[in-house]
Structure 1
Amino acid sequence: MNNLPGLGMLKSRHSPSKIFVYFAVGIFIFLSGLAWLIYMEAIVPAEARNSFSFYGVKHPVNFSGKLDQLYWIIILIMVFAISPLLIAINLSFGKAYYLYEKGIVTENGGQLKTILFEDIEDLGLFSSGNSFNPNNIAFRNRKEGRWEIMTARNRHIFKAIDLIISHHQVLYTAKVLKEIQIGNGIVFNYISDSIPGKSFLNLPPKEITVYKHHLVINEVQLRIEDVSHFSTDNNRISLYSKENDIAFDTSLMGFFSSKSFIAVLHGLIKTSGAL
């Protein structure tokens, strides 16, 4: 799968990490070995014997208490050893993502699904866990409707996020500008009051429709030539009129495909200023 027709060269592969599995297996083996030694009476409480033997060599022990109590403790330890192992194994299963020059191939249970960067209309970022920076990325084509989510469990997630955003910005922007130039309107979605976590993906979005000479925001038209500039400070995206009034403002995290929207808007403002 290093090269696929129509997708170009494979850039990277991202699947759930196996590191926690290896750690859990190591702990499980260690505690299982300890339990086996006790079961084989290589280690017994001092109450039952003042020394333990290992391959015929006797050594003093420091355990005290009843034998059955020690067994119950080992059983409890084994429960704690098995639990993270099962959790780790469960977390290690999941979708694998192959990132190519022109698109993404998702592998899930042997089934492959392909989406081109230029066909991704909504691209969203959100944080999970203790991360302050976005460590999850979601994307979709609106005709299909269903979000594909690459989570923080995937290896090298930040590399994947950077690659997807940069390739999408170039390829989707080029496609959008061609559509706009022939008179079509392109819809960008946003959530005005985004909330942490992926639940914001299920909220009904608002729309900005971009045309060659104007924007339609909440059914209100804003001419491109009346937009002097825009900013993305403090995790917000703001459009300013020539009077330096804010014509539009919303959270950058809640704006889908924000990088592509900014690139499109920058191109239209530049073209409008040159006319």
Structure 2
Amino acid sequence: MTDSRTPQASEALAVFNHTGSAPDCFELHEHGVVSRQGDTRTYTAFADIQDLCLFASGPDATAGLIDNFAYRTRAADGWTLVSGDVGEFSKLMDAFRSRYVAQRLPVLEETIADGGRVAFRYVRGGVFPDLQTQELALSAEGLHIDGATWPYESLKRIDLNHWAETVSLQDEQGKTVFSCLATRILSSDLFVNLVYDRLGRTAEYA
């Protein structure tokens, strides 16, 4: 719905039209995105988006080529899907991801600085939108997963060149404490940035 936060269509930095089913249009704004279906315009601020899911479907699924993404502000909310039917899909996805990181990352960094935990989810099974996910979290103390906490100083150096496909964290003994395809981590761009920043204070990089 349109409310006081919803920017005017004329203020959009770019408009991407959908050739298939709804939403029929996406407006990219400085601080958020508007999905438009007919006369209904729904605005979502980048800083409020909790989960961003990148995935492949159709004949490109086995190749791992991302041709869809979806976002939501809470895990309990429904997803807004942006499919490859949108014109200039790659341009929209790249602009969306960069603005999302720029505006959501400071929110998460502030949460950690204030002593809170930042929760992420990674996909263990299922097909979008029926995903089976498991939670992990980051805080000032370290990585929290499966009820255990791994202090950042206990994690060994990481070759960041491998992060394009797999995010893998190992402890000082070489034991893998977490490993997952980057595209299987919801909001993986944010997760990688936060881990990079934290490990950068305690570890060397290849």
Per the TM alignment, residue 92 of structure 1 is displaced from its structure 2 partner at its CA by 6.6
Separation in structure 2 between the aligned mates of residue 253 and residue 129 of structure 1, nearest angstrom = 16
Q: Distance in 2 between matches of 1:108 and 1:229?
A: 47
1:111 is displaced (CA, Å) by 1.1
For 1:188, which of 114, 120, 129 is the aligned residue? 120
Distance across 1 between alignment mates of 2:148 and 2:118: 15
**CA distance 1:144–1:10, shift in 2 (3 Å):** farther
User: Deviations along 1:84-104, whole A, 9 cap, x unmatched?
Assistant: xxxxxxx37643111112111
Count of aligned positions: 192
Partner of residue 263 from structure 1, selected from 181, 193, 197:
193
Unaligned runs of 5+ in 2: 1-5
What is the rounded CA distance, in whole Å, between the counterparts of 2:128 and 2:154 in structure 1? Answer: 32
Structure 1: which 5+ runs fail to align? Answer: 18-90
Q: Deviations over 1:105-161 (max 9, x none)?
A: 111121111111111111011112333410111011116511000011110111111
In the alignment, the residues of structure 1 paired with residue 156 and residue 13 of structure 2 have an alpha-carbon distance, to the nearest angstrom, of 38
- Please say if residues 121 and 141 of structure 1, whose CA atoms lie closer than 8 Å, have aligned partners that are also in contact: yes
Give me the CA root mean square deviation. 2.4
Identity rate, percent? 21
Aligned partner of residue 132 in structure 2, secondary structure: coil
4+ residue runs over 6 A deviation: none
Shift of 1:271: 3.2
Q: Of residues 156, 160, 165 in structure 2, which corresponds to 1:228? A: 156
Q: Please, which of 10, 13, 16 is the counterpart of residue 14 of structure 1?
A: 16
Task: Quote the residue 1:245 is aligned against.
Answer: 175
The answer on 1:156 being equivalent to 2:88 is yes
CA gap 1:273/1:127 in 2 versus in 1, 3 angstroms: closer
TM-score, length-scaled by structure 2: 0.83
Q: Aligned runs of 1:91-170 on 2, under 5 Å?
A: 91=20, 94-131=23-60, 132=63, 133-142=65-74, 145-170=77-102
| In structure 2, C-alpha distance between the alignment counterparts of 1:99 and 1:229, rounded to whole Å | 37
SS in 2 for 1:184: coil
Deviations 1:35-54 (A, max 9, x none): xxxxxxxxxxxxxxxxxxxx
Name the SS of the counterpart of 1:125 in structure 2. strand
Answer whether contact 1:97 1:105 (CA < 8 A) is retained.
yes
Of Structure 1 and Structure 2, the greater strand share is in 2
Contact 1:192 1:250 in 2 (8 A): no
Report which of the two has the higher share of helix. 1
TM-score by length of 1: 0.64
